[in-house]
Amino acid sequence: MSATNLTKTLYDKVWDAHQVHQQDDGTVLLYIDRHLVHEVTSPQAFEGLQIAGRKPWRTDSMLAVADHNVPTTARDAGIEDPVSKLQVDTLDANCDAHGIVEFKMNDHRQGIVHVIGPEQGATLPGMTVVCGDSHTSTHGAFGALAFGIGTSEVEHVMATQCLLQKKSRNMLVSVDGEVGPGVTAKDIVLAIIGHIGTAGGNGSAIEFGGDAIRALSMEGRMTVCNMAIEAGARAGMIAVDQTTIDYVKARPFSPSADQWDAAIAAWRDLVSDDGAKFDKVVHINAADIMPQVSWGTSPEMVAGVAGVVPDPTVETNEIKAEGMRRALHYMDLKPGTAIADIKIDKVFIGSCTNSRIEDLRAAAAVIKDRKIADNVKLALVVPGSGLVKKLAEEEGLDSIFSNAGFEWREPGCSMCLAMNADKLESGERCASTSNRNFEGRQGQGGRTHLVSPAMAAAAAIAGHFVDVRSF
């Protein structure tokens, strides 16, 4: 056997450590360490268990929270929409019946499932983490193998603590060198998706590496891995280093003091070996990345803030050109329009991509002592969790936002997907720190432009997109 056959990628290591059994055809029974649960994709799974007379295999592997449907105002009044209320009540009842830990709507720890997992130390390096939600890729920032699953698989994990899986291919996206000032994790990941496309990672687990990724905080790394799914990869991963270990230490569900040394010794190996084989490698020069703004209806449709809306007539790939025409029609944009000339109606700072404390600090730094523009009808800040909200308030960020004309809300998914009352009206244009600009995503007929928190904040003040680096 040659030396290269002994080397493993980070993904190989976590995958191998969780194999319970391998069938002759290569299908693997993969053990799941952590199962995060929310109200939208779990009711049918709980019902399935009940119909089959089964019980959850390991309730202590589960952590549940309602996030998609919860209102971001007047929580004490409960949920007004009866359909949303039934879904949240159903989660509460299912968790109570099975003894599953749930942060209920008025618990101070409640928040977006992908924010609270890491915040609580429920997400740990080397774990397999699943949730009935595609943005589960977020947790890969910890050197965990984390991916979204559908409701049938939610039921499968509940019943067996395992999933039947085929191994994905190994892909490395290396962001080499340093990013310039004002360029954030969000800009890095949007630039990556713009480069490799929304199907670029299909069938692969992407490891994000390179100096620019290593230099990111854990929160920045979560932003990058969060959007791995927008590049088509079910899982994004980042190797463990001291930044990871420092973040995980002393959180409620982190290893106890007597387990700590053994845990970090094991975690230090959660890196791809030198010479490990990747099926595909993409290099991106960090210095080339500008603050990004999406102009279309797919996350690959991005441009630098100094750029213009592209012209489909110069696109040589006819499928792409047709997609661009549809997108420009939906977005009501003309080719050649400067990104900085696009005016906005609403601003949304939040979502599992960008609602953590560093995101709020970055936005607050831009708007301090300024006011939102007259043409901005609504600017929302929705913290990722009750704990993020509390910390922000201790730092006085809520006053900075309120003084500028932003609304300071309760935690949840909110206008990222508009399942609650927060949404765009038809034709409205939004600068959003969320992850998807699909047609209708933030409300039927709504137009979404994906940006970083600092860029969203600057757009709120200017009333149109503006380069935050010279703002």
Partner 1 sequence: MQAFTILEGVVAPLLRSNIDTDAIIPKQFLKSIKRTGFGVNLFDEWRYLDAGFPGQDNSTRQPNPEFVLNLPRYQQASILLAGENFGCGSSREHAVWALDGFGFRCVIAPSFADIFNNNSFKSGLLPLVLEKSIIDKLAAACEANEGYQLKVDLEKQQVTAPDGESYAFEVDQFRKHCLLNGLDDIGLTLQNEDLIKQYEAKRKEAAPWLFNGVT
Interaction between residue 149 and partner 1 (CB under 8 A): yes
Residue with tokens 């899986």: 165
Where does this chain touch partner 1 (CB under 8 A) — which range of 39-47, 218-226, 274-282, 377-385?
A: 39-47
Q: Which is nearer to partner 1, 127 or 462 (CB)?
A: 127
Candidate list 92, 98, 104, 151; residue touching partner 1; CB under 8 A: 151
Interaction between residue 471 and partner 1 (CB under 8 A): no
Interaction between residue 134 and partner 1 (CB under 8 A): yes
Q: Which is nearer to partner 1, 234 or 346 (CB)?
A: 234
Distance CA 50, CA 53 (A): 5
Interaction between residue 189 and partner 1 (CB under 8 A): no
Burial 69-86 (b: 16+ CB within 10 A, else e): bbbbeebeeebeeeebee
Question: CB of residue 153 vs partner 1: minimum separation in angstroms?
Answer: 7
Where does this chain touch partner 1 (CB under 8 A) — which range of 53-61, 106-114, 365-373, 385-393?
A: 53-61
Draw the binding track, 367-386, toward partner 1 (x: CB under 8 A; -: no contact). Answer: --------------------
Candidate list 10, 14, 62, 239; residue touching partner 1; CB under 8 A: 62
Give the interface size with partner 1 as a residue count (CB under 8 A): 85
Interaction between residue 363 and partner 1 (CB under 8 A): no
Q: Which is nearer to partner 1, 31 or 471 (CB)?
A: 31
Candidate list 328, 419, 450, 454; residue touching partner 1; CB under 8 A: 419
Interaction between residue 432 and partner 1 (CB under 8 A): no
Where does this chain touch partner 1 (CB under 8 A) — which range of 63-71, 185-193, 281-289, 351-359?
A: 63-71
Q: Which is nearer to partner 1, 52 or 287 (CB)?
A: 52
Residues 157-176 that bind partner 1 (CB under 8 A): 159-162, 164, 166, 168
Candidate list 104, 440, 469, 471; residue touching partner 1; CB under 8 A: 440
Question: CB of residue 62 vs partner 1: minimum separation in angstroms?
Answer: 7
Candidate list 56, 71, 111, 132; residue touching partner 1; CB under 8 A: 132
Residues 65-84 that bind partner 1 (CB under 8 A): 68-69, 81, 83-84
3-state SS, the chain, equals CCHHHHCCCHHHHHHHHCEEEECCCCCEEEECCEEEECCCCCHHHHHHHHHHCCCCCCHHHEEEECCCCCCCCCHHHCCCCHHHHHHHHHHHHHHHHHCCCEECCCCCCCECHHHHHHHHCCCCCCCEEEECCHHHHHHHHHCCEEEECCHHHHHHHHHHCEEEECCCEEEEEEEECCCCCCCCHHHHHHHHHHHHCCCCCCCEEEEEECHHHHCCCHHHHHHHHHHHHHHCCCEEECCCCHHHHHHHCCCCCCCCHHHHHHHHHHHCCCCCCCCCCCCEEEEEEHHHCCCEEECCCCCCCEEECCCECCCHHHCCCHHHHHHHHHHHHHHCCCCCCEHHHCECCEEEECCCCCCCHHHHHHHHHHHCCCCCCCCCCEEEECCCEHHHHHHHHHCCHHHHHHHHCCEECCCCCHHHCCCCCCCCCCCCEEEECCCCCCCCCCCCCCEEEECCHHHHHHHHHHCECCCHHHC
Interaction between residue 256 and partner 1 (CB under 8 A): yes
Candidate list 7, 31, 167, 421; residue touching partner 1; CB under 8 A: 31
Residues 309-328 that bind partner 1 (CB under 8 A): 319, 322-323, 326
Interaction between residue 155 and partner 1 (CB under 8 A): yes
Candidate list 253, 307, 325, 395; residue touching partner 1; CB under 8 A: 253
Q: Which is nearer to partner 1, 6 or 86 (CB)?
A: 86
Interaction between residue 418 and partner 1 (CB under 8 A): yes
